[in-house]
């Protein structure tokens, strides 16, 4: 993901605390996709669905954060989507890698490098999983 596309985004909070119903548009190269926030519980849960996405349909996902006894956080990020037969072989692998990178970025302490994150006990587990359902045309 390269950047937030503010021209295609809707109802963004200027302070970054977007509420349910806000649409965040993200640009990756020339492609812009949009996700609508559907549920939010501060420091616990963020759920979203596709607002516009040419590659996936009926996409919905949840990011659940669970504190651990050792001051860490378990990040459980999962979702489902439908796609065409053509993209059905590609999307699961691409999304697994992309989502794991996003989860790793969330897990990394702001001032730490990737190396120190890998050794950190602050995050017990990261999970980035998306299920695919192929759409029949």
Mind listing the pLDDT tens digit for each residue in 81-101? 898 888 888 888 888 888 788
State the pLDDT confidence band at 126, using cuts at 50, 70 and 90: very low
Asked whether residue 43 is assigned to any structural domain, the reply reads: no
Question: Are residues 63 and 128 part of one domain?
Answer: yes
State the pLDDT confidence band at 109, using cuts at 50, 70 and 90: low
Asked whether residue 91 is assigned to any structural domain, the reply reads: yes
Task: Count up the domains in the chain and report the number.
Answer: 2
Contact call for residues 27 and 44 (beta carbons, < 8 A): no
State the pLDDT confidence band at 110, using cuts at 50, 70 and 90: low
Question: Are residues 118 and 66 part of one domain?
Answer: yes
Range of the domain at 33: 1-38
State residue 86's pLDDT score: 84
Asked whether residue 22 is assigned to any structural domain, the reply reads: yes
Asked whether residue 48 is assigned to any structural domain, the reply reads: no
Question: Are residues 26 and 91 part of one domain?
Answer: no
Asked whether residue 76 is assigned to any structural domain, the reply reads: yes
Asked whether residue 64 is assigned to any structural domain, the reply reads: yes
State the pLDDT confidence band at 1, using cuts at 50, 70 and 90: low
Q: Please give the residue that has the higher pLDDT: either 45 or 99.
A: 45
State residue 11's pLDDT score: 96
Question: Are residues 64 and 11 part of one domain?
Answer: no
Question: Are residues 62 and 27 part of one domain?
Answer: no
Q: What is the strand order of the sheet 73-83 is part of?
A: 3-4, 23-28, 31-41, 45-52, 57-67, 73-83, 126-134
- Of 32, 137, 35, the closest CA to residue 79 belongs to 35
State residue 77's pLDDT score: 87
Question: Are residues 124 and 78 part of one domain?
Answer: yes
Q: Is residue 123's pLDDT more than 70?
A: no
User: How many H-runs (helices) and E-runs (strands) does the chain carry?
Assistant: 3, 7
């Amino acid at each position: 993901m390269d950047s937030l596309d503010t021209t295609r985004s809707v109802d963004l909070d200027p302070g970054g605390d977007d509420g349910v119903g806000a649409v965040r548009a993200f640009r990756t190269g020339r492609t812009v996709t949009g996700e609508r926030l559907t549920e939010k519980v501060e420091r616990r849960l963020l759920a979203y669905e596709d607002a516009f996405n040419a590659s996936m349909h009926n996409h919905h996902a949840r990011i659940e954060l669970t504190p651990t006894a050792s001051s860490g956080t378990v990040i459980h990020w999962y979702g489902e989507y439908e796609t065409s037969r053509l993209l059905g072989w590609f999307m699961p692998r691409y999304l697994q890698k992309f989502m794991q990178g996003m989860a790793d970025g969330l897990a990394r302490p702001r001032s730490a490098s990737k190396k120190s994150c890998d050794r950190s006990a602050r995050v017990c587990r990261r999970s980035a999983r998306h299920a695919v359902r192929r759409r029949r045309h």
